[in-house]
Amino acid sequence: MRRHQKDNAGSARGITRRGLLLGGAQVAIAAVLAGRMRYMQVEQADQYRTLAEENRIDLELIAPARGQIFDRNGVIVAQNEPSYRIVMVREEAGDLELVLRRLSALVTLNPEELAEAREEMEKRRGDTRVTIADRVSWKDIAKVAANAPALPGVFPEVGLSRHYPMGPDFAHTVGYVGPVSDYDLSRMEDPDPLMMLPRFQIGKVGLEAKYEDPLRGKAGVRRVEKNAANRVVRELGRQEGVPGVDVQITVDAELQNYMHARLTGESAAAVVIDCDSGDLLGIASAPTYDPNLFVRGISVADYKALTDNEYRPLASKTVQGLYPPGSTFKMVTAMAALEAGIVGAEDTVYCPGHLEISGRRFHCWKRAGHGHVNLETSLRESCDVYYYDLALKVGIENISAMAERLGVGVRHDVPMSAVARGRAPTKAYKQEVFGSEWVIGDTVNASIGQGLVQASPLHLAVMTARLATGRAIEPRLVKNVDAVEAPSGAGAPLGVNENHLRMVRKAMYAVSNSGRGTGFRSRIVAEGMRMAGKTGTSQVRNITAAERARGVTRNADLPWNRRDHALFVNFAPYDNPKVAVAVVVEHGGGGSTAAAPIARDITLQALYGEDPPLTAYPERDRGRIRAQQARLKKLRQDIRIGSKGRA
C-alpha cells in the first residue's frame, strides 16, 4: 500500500534531524579528539617523548641534615660535613665483577669496604643503592662521572656525614652515629624509609641514640627523570625535608677536655654537677676513644684494640660503672642515724680497731683503732667501727631509705647508654635476688659502703650535691632542644633536718681542712674556695684472717685488678656550694692518694673556668702543680689536634 505523500515528507524531515544530531555528535567527538591530540602532541610532547624513549619518572628520598649538638657555651661537638661516595645498584650493573674491575682501575677501593659492600648487596634488594667507596675525593667523583657509560649501575653521590670535632672528649656522653645495620632494622616495628638509603647514619650510643628521632629530621623528596640506562636526565622538582633539631647540652667543653687530660693513664671516671641547676658540667670516663672511628664502620683492628684493653675504654664508667662506694657512703649512714634520732653530734663510740659481732670480728682500716670518736672525728679520720655501731642501731632499712633519698640506688634520667640503677640493698632485695636471708654482717658491711651496696660516679656526685644543698638535685645533661629550655634539675627540698645536714657538712669540711683529715693533703687553700670532701677506699677482694695476722698486703704489691678502688667526693665552696664532684679511680689504691688530688684539680678548674692560680694550692705543691699544668696544657692541645687530624 502506497504511503501518503504527506507522510513521506514528515519521515524525511525526521531522518534529516537525526542525521544532523548524529553528525553534530560526530563533529563534537572529532573536535574533542582533535583537541586532545593537540594537547598530547604539542603541550605534552616532552613528557610523551620521554615515554617513547623509554625514560621514566622516579621519586627519590632526600636525606635531611641531622641536627647539630652544642656544649653549654655554644661550642659545636657534633656536626655535619660534606661526604663524597660511590654507590652501586646491583640489578642495573649487569656483569657485577666486570663493572667492579673497571671501577677499581679508576679509583682505589678499600678491600674491607668492598667486601662489606658485596655482603650488603647479597642481603638487600637488587634495586637498593649500596656504598662501594665512602669519603672519596672530588677527583674520584669526576672520574666516575666521566666514565659513566662504562660503569652501568655505578653512581657518584654527595651527602652529609657526622663529625665530632672534639674527638674523644665527648665519646661516652654524646656517643656516635653509624650506618644502619640489620640489627637496627630488626628492632624497629615500622622503619623510616630513610633507613634504606645507602649508609644512612643513625645514633648508636649516647645522646645520639637517645635523641635519634628529633636529631634525624624528616625526609624530603625529589622527582627525577631517568633514561633507559637509569641515569638521571634532569630533576623535575623537589620538596625539601625538615632538618633535625639542634640540641644543646650542659657540659662545658673546656672543662670536659681538662678532665680527660687529667684522667689520662688511669681507668677512672669523674662527674661535676652544678649545685644550683643540677647541670652536668663535666662527665668524663677514661680511657676514652675517638667516636669518628665508628661513623663509617670501625676496622677490625681498631675495634679489637679497644675491646682487648683491660681499662675498658668503650664503657661509660660514669653511669655504667658500679662500685662499692666505700667510706664515701658513711655520710648516708650518718644521716640515717641522725634522722632516726639515735645519735647526736657529741655522742662517742670507742674504736679499738675492730668490733665483735656474733662471733665475727669486723675490722677498722686502722689496726690500732681510733679511740673515742664522735660524728665529726669519725668522718674526718674515716673510722669504720663508729659506723658499724651506728648500723646495728639504725638498721639496713633506714640506711637504704636514706641512700635513695640522697640519690643512690636510683636510675637517674640521663640520656646516655646503659645508665645503671645502682644498689641500696634491703632484706627483701637480698631474698628476691640472691635467695638468701639477710644477716647482721650485711648491715655492718653496708654501713661503710661495702657488701651489697653499689653506686656509680654519677650517683656519688648526686649524693654529694644533695648533701651540699639540702635539695633533691637531679642531674641534667640536655640544656635545650630546638632552643626550648629543658626543665631545671634544681629539685625540691629533701625534707631532712637542716641541722643534721650542717653536722655532716662540717665533718666533711674537717676531712679536707683539718690536719688529721684523710683528705688534708689535697685541700684547697684559696679563701672563698675551700672544699668539703670525703675519701673512700673500696675492697675488691677478701682479706683472710691469716693475711691480717701476717700483715695485709699493700696495694702496690698486688696485681692491678686486685687493688682497691680509690674514691673521693666533695663540694665547693664550702660556704656557698657551686659544684659537687665525684671521682673513682679503678684499682687506684687509697682514695686520699689516688682520687682526692684529681678531684681537687677538677674542682678548681670548674670554679675558676681556667687553670687556677697556684696560690689556690698548698705551698708545698705549687712547683709540682706548675709542671702539671704545663703538661696538661700540651696534652689538651694534642687531644684536640688529634681529633681534627682524623677528620
> Can you tell me the mean pLDDT for 383-401?
97
Give the other-Cβ count within 10 Å of 39's Cβ.
11
Residues 6+ apart with CB under 8 A from 382: 327, 330, 365, 511, 518, 534, 535
Strands 220-226 and 232-239, bridge-based pairing: antiparallel
Could you give the CA distance from residue 356 to residue 218 in angstroms, rounded to a whole number? 67
Phi, then psi, of 477 in degrees rounded to 5: -100, -35
Which H or E element spans position 89? strand 76-89
pLDDT band at 122 (very low <50, low <70, confident <90, very high): confident
Q: Return the H-helix or E-strand segment holding 404.
A: helix 396-405
Q: How far apart are CA 147 and CA 167, in angstroms?
A: 37
The amino acid occupying position 332 is V
Give the residue from 512, 508, 529 showing the smallest Cα distance to 521: 512
Copy the grid coordinates of residue 591: 682514695
DSSP 541: S
Residues 213/75, Cβ–Cβ less than 8 Å: no
CB 154 within 8 A of CB 93: yes
The residue ranking higher by pLDDT, 317 or 56, is: 317
Placement of cell 687553670 in the chain: 611
pLDDT reported for residue 1 = 47
pLDDT at 548: 65
Q: What is the pLDDT of residue 564?
A: 92
Choice among 26-35, 226-235, 481-490 with the minimum mean pLDDT: 226-235
The model's confidence at residue 333, banded by pLDDT at 50, 70 and 90, is very high
Name the β-bridge partners of 157: 85
Residue 486 near residue 476 (C-beta atoms within 8 A): yes
Over pLDDT 90: what percentage of the chain? 63
- For residue 419, the SS3 value is coil
**Over the range 506-525, which residues count as b (16 or more CB within 10 Å of their CB) and which as e?**
bbbbbbbbbeebbbbebbbe
pLDDT of 584 higher than 80: yes
What value does the mean pLDDT take over residues 156-185?
Answer: 90
Report phi then psi at 178, rounded to 5.
-160, 170
pLDDT for the residue numbered 157: 81
Residue 45, C-alpha cell as written in the block: 610532547
**pLDDT the model gives residue 166:** 93
SS3 416: coil
* Class of residue 220 by CB neighbours under 10 A (exposed 0-12, middle 13-18, buried 19+): middle
Ordered structural domains, the chain, with CATH: 59-249 (3.90.1310.10), 253-645 (3.40.710.10)
Would you state the cell numbers that stand for residue 270, as one nine-digit string? 669523674
Q: Average pLDDT, stretch 325-340?
A: 98
Does residue 592 carry a pLDDT above 70?
A: yes
117 pLDDT exceeds 50?
A: yes
Residue with cell 681507668: 267
pLDDT band at residue 181 under the 50/70/90 scheme: confident
As a whole-number percent, the residues of the chain with pLDDT over 70 amount to 91
Listing DSSP states for 473-489 in one string gives ---B-EEEETTEEPPP-
pLDDT at 172 over 90: yes
Q: Which pLDDT does position 590 carry in this prediction?
A: 92
Q: What is the pLDDT of residue 553?
A: 77
Q: How far is 204 from 200, CA to CA, in rounded Å? A: 12
DSSP state, 359? T
| pLDDT, mean of residues 534-543 | 86
pLDDT (tens digit, 9 = 90+) per residue, 22-74? 777 777 787 777 777 776 666 666 655 555 444 567 777 778 999 999 999 99
Compare 606 and 345 and report the one with higher pLDDT. 606
Residue at grid coordinates 670501625: 298
- Determine the Cα–Cα distance for residues 335 and 317; give it in Å rounded to an integer: 27
Could you give the angle at which helices 396-405 and 330-340 cross, rounded to 10 degrees? 110
Cβ neighbourhood burial of 147 (10 Å; 0-12, 13-18, 19+):
middle
State residue 289's pLDDT score: 95
| pLDDT at site 53 | 47
Q: Which of 272, 156, 235 is nearest to 580 (CA)?
A: 272
pLDDT of residue 141: 87
Torsion angle of C-alpha atoms 408, 414, 419, 423, degrees rounded to 10: 10
Of the chain, the end-to-end C-alpha distance in Å amounts to 108
Whether residue 492 is predicted with pLDDT greater than 90 in this model: the reply is yes
Q: Please identify which residue in the block is written with the cell numbers 668539703.
A: 532
Catalytic residues: 327
Q: What is the mean pLDDT of residues 327-354?
A: 96
Lowest mean pLDDT among 100-114, 338-352, 446-460, 494-508: 100-114
Report the mean per-residue pLDDT for the chain.
Answer: 89
